[in-house]
Amino acid sequence: RAKANGRGTFCVFEPEMDVRAQERRSLEMELRSAFANEELELYYQPLLNVRSRTISTCEALLRWPRAGRGIVSPGEFIPLAEEMGLIVEIGDWTLVQACRQAVQWPQQIRVAVNVSPMHFRRGDIVRSVEAALKDSGLPADRLEIEVTESVLLEQTERTRHALGELAEMGIRISLDDFGTGYSSLAYLQNYPFHKVKIDRSFLSGLDDDPQRLIMLRGVARLSAELGLAVTLEGVERDDQLAIVMADGYVDEVQGFLISCPVPAEKLGRLFASRKEKQAAA
């Protein structure tokens, strides 16, 4: 423990830390066995194209239903899986499952899969994607890979190469959570992105900070003018939708207003109800 704090620092022993380390170890073991027993699940959240008013994509989002303790969110267990080195295996599984689901959907609907930066570093993402497409029979142009900026911060050449190869295969690449990290607008130009997903913090911050709107509109416009598709995350209310629609730079919206993430079995009904809404509009 003292070692983790670095050389020259003292570490006062606290029993609490021991308990926490134990809890962590047991959580790791639980996650490992949950994954091995195929207990992880994928939920799906639609992205609505605001021009056609149809669902263009569904994003796969991991869930861990933990026996007797409700559902653990990926925000909690993905970082753990990354530290454990389990994320590459989880990522491979996710790709296969998501592609198998997507072949059952109407043809115009794509599936989006989040890929951890560690997958780019430690795994062979190109091979994994090829394997998932082959296994499922899903055409490459119906798969979107979402990466966050953090993937671009390290191992630039390797990452650029992998992203380039994926794009050449016909896969769409999205820059996820744009505006949260070390967002550099240069990334938009230097990598083969098809889509920018503007982080929901822009929208959730609007009420407190009017400047966020200026930023949001600017980022949306810039992305659109660079030829990228623009998705806005975290749309929860009608008035938020109205604000962003005004400029016409946003192509797609995602958020609780449209639908929260749902288990795969519920997608059929969601697709059908969207069609009805569209017919009624």
Site residues (vs ligand C2E, CB under 6 A): 45, 60-62, 73-75, 78, 94, 114-116, 146, 176-177, 200, 234-236, 254-256, 261
CB of 115 closer than 8 Å to CB of 143: no
Nearer CB in complex with Mg ion: 82/177: 177
| Choices 119-127, 149-157, 170-178, 203-211; region in contact with Mg ion by CB under 5 A | 170-178
- 42 closest CA partner among 95, 79, 89, 88: 95
**Residue 95 beta carbon to ligand C2E: minimum distance, rounded to whole angstroms:** 9
Binds 174: which of Mg ion, ligand C2E, none (CB < 5-8 Å by kind): none
Contact between 144 and Mg ion (CB under 5 A)?
no
Which residue's CB comes closest to ligand C2E? 255
Task: In whole angstroms, give the CA distance from residue 140 to residue 171.
Answer: 5
Containing H/E element for 111?
strand 110-114
- Give ∠ CA 14-16-18 in degrees, rounded to 5: 85
Contact between 177 and Mg ion (CB under 5 A)?
yes
Task: In whole angstroms, give the CA distance from residue 174 to residue 192.
Answer: 9
Task: In whole angstroms, give the CA distance from residue 84 to residue 88.
Answer: 10
Contact between 116 and Mg ion (CB under 5 A)?
no
Residue 261, token pair as written in the block:
């993430």
Nearer CB in complex with ligand C2E: 58/61: 61
Binds 236: which of Mg ion, ligand C2E, none (CB < 5-8 Å by kind): ligand C2E
Q: How many residues bind Mg ion (CB under 5 A)?
A: 5
Binds 41: which of ligand C2E, Mg ion, none (CB < 5-8 Å by kind): none
CB of 164 closer than 8 Å to CB of 134: no
